[in-house]
Structure 1
Amino acid sequence: MWAIARTELKKTLQDKGLWFWTFILPIIFIVGFVAIFSGTEDVEFKELVTQIIPGYTVMFSFYIMISIVIAFVKDRDRGMVARIASTPLSIRDYFIGKWIPFMVIVLLQIAVLFTFGVIVYDLPLGDPLALVILSFILAFLTTGWGMAMAVLVKTENMGLALTQVIALGGALLGGLWMPVEVMPDVMQTISRFLPQYWALEGYKEIMLNGGGIGDIWLSLFILLIAGAAGGILAMLAYPHYLKQSRS
């Protein structure tokens, strides 16, 4: 398991596209949108940065699914999965070994973007324990969904397209691009069924209102259930994924 995790982490960190999607592009978006909306009347700068920075952090955390899909599809098409299946390594250990590096990358992404927000825009972080737990569960969610998608899609392009739908569609409907309060009533109702909404609400509660774990328990619960659903789906779909692997 740990050998798989080390190999996957080393291989993934060598992907230049990963660095662009994970760190460079989110910072460009944050800088651009803060500059655009910082002159807006009746909007406090603190509220602005606690909408934009956590919002784009949540949105771009979903792009880790692209890297997960690519890793799994390549293992399948190269016959790596079939060879691993013939060893004593269990399905659980295989998934955990593949999952850990992507968890680390998402957590690193969140830490970098929030640190950038603190240094450049004086972003208030609030309760550190609540912030860490929420970030960990967000990473669990995005990687869990990525694992499920990776064993279900047939091609990398299909995974890329679905990631765009989930990331961009969830950002639009989940209130990551604009406050939910200014959205039409129908969209406000839809947003409450999306994990992106609950992730952002949790971050805003911590950063704006000084909330703790007890104040964001509903966000934590919903994200945890959604992430677990992705992981369970990935495990259930593994036999189908294995059948598609070249021997």
Structure 2
Amino acid sequence: MKVLQLQCKTEILRVLRNRYFLFWSLMMPILFYYIFTNVVNTNVPDKALWQAHYLMSMTVYSVMGSSMMTLGIRMVQARSEGWATFIRITPLSDSVYFAAQMIGQSVIHILSITVIFTAGAIINNVSLTPYEWIMSGIWILIASTPFLALGTLIGLMKKVETAATISNVLYMVLAITGGLWMLLEVMPELMQNIGKWLPSYHFGNGAWEIVRGRMPEWKNFLILVSYLLVFMTISK
């Protein structure tokens, strides 16, 4: 257990020292949140609800990117730099090393959720009930699992450049078509039909439902679990 704790601490520190993570997973979502709630889209009918809705979108956007890119690229780097090979000749088992990566990434997600939620409360005085804050945070943490699986799938690639390119493209496509940057309802009908089958939409929709005083839809659970199983199966 002590070995796992130490390795988890190492993985967390590696992420926190990564400028790429700090910029793309924390600074950019907060900047986008400010722009899309205070510079544009300022004349929406229910401004408070829009600010809460978009706060969830940017938090999901942050955690999704961290799962796919921070985790996936870090795994490729570890293998290409020989770190993964070095681990195999130490007493640290593969299972403990993998568990530490997943736990460490989950702790990073908790940090991201906390930071972005705090930013929303400061920037726009977003006021949710304690239940809504807690449940939306729990949803985002748990529903990120399929994207962690996708991150490990990206981590199987041989070259860092390839992993970075593919993860960046996937990240942007899923964010846009999943309704994280703009409402899915304003997109062409074809994109709406496609978007409603993507994991990014169902990831975000669960949190959007919670800030509206409802529970995530059963379809959100079903689609995310299906994607999780597919990504896990492919990565074997």
Q: What interval of TM-score do these two structures reach, taking the shorter chain for normalisation?
A: 0.7 to 0.9
Structure 1 residue 222: Cα displacement: 2.7
Structure 1 residue 71: Cα displacement: 2.2
1:239 matched residue in structure 2: none
Q: CA 1:39–1:11 in 2, change beyond 3 Å: closer, same or farther?
A: closer
Structure 1 residue 99: Cα displacement: 1.6
* Deviations 1:169-189, CA, capped at 9 Å, x for gaps: 112211112222222211111
Relative contact order, CA 8 A, sep 6+: which one is greater? Answer: 1
Contact 2:144 2:203 (8 Å CA) reproduced: no
2:188 matched residue in structure 1: 184
Do residues 216 (structure 1) and 217 (structure 2) align? yes
Contact 1:58 1:199 (8 Å CA) reproduced: yes
SS in 2 for 1:63: helix
Structure 2 distance, partners of 1:160, 1:230, is 18
Do residues 146 (structure 1) and 146 (structure 2) align? no
The number of residues matched between the two structures is: 230
1:25 matched residue in structure 2: 28
* Equivalent residue in structure 1 for 2:107, among 104, 107, 124: 104
Identify which range, 175-184 or 61-70, moves more after superposition: 61-70
One-letter amino acid of the counterpart of residue 55, structure 1:
S
* Deviations 1:160-209, CA, capped at 9 Å, x for gaps: 2122222211122111122222222111110111111112211111102x
Identify which range, 31-40 or 161-170, moves more after superposition: 31-40
1:244 matched residue in structure 2: none
Do residues 167 (structure 1) and 171 (structure 2) align? yes
Percent of aligned pairs sharing the same letter? 27
Q: CA 1:146–1:38 in 2, change beyond 3 Å: closer, same or farther?
A: same
1:49 matched residue in structure 2: 51
Structure 2 counterparts to residues 65-144 of structure 1, below 5 A: 65-86=68-89, 89-126=92-129, 127-128=131-132, 129-144=134-149
One-letter amino acid of the counterpart of residue 155, structure 1:
K
Identify which range, 76-85 or 96-105, moves more after superposition: 76-85
Q: CA 1:216–1:133 in 2, change beyond 3 Å: closer, same or farther?
A: farther
* Structure 1 residues without counterparts, runs of 5 or longer: 237-247
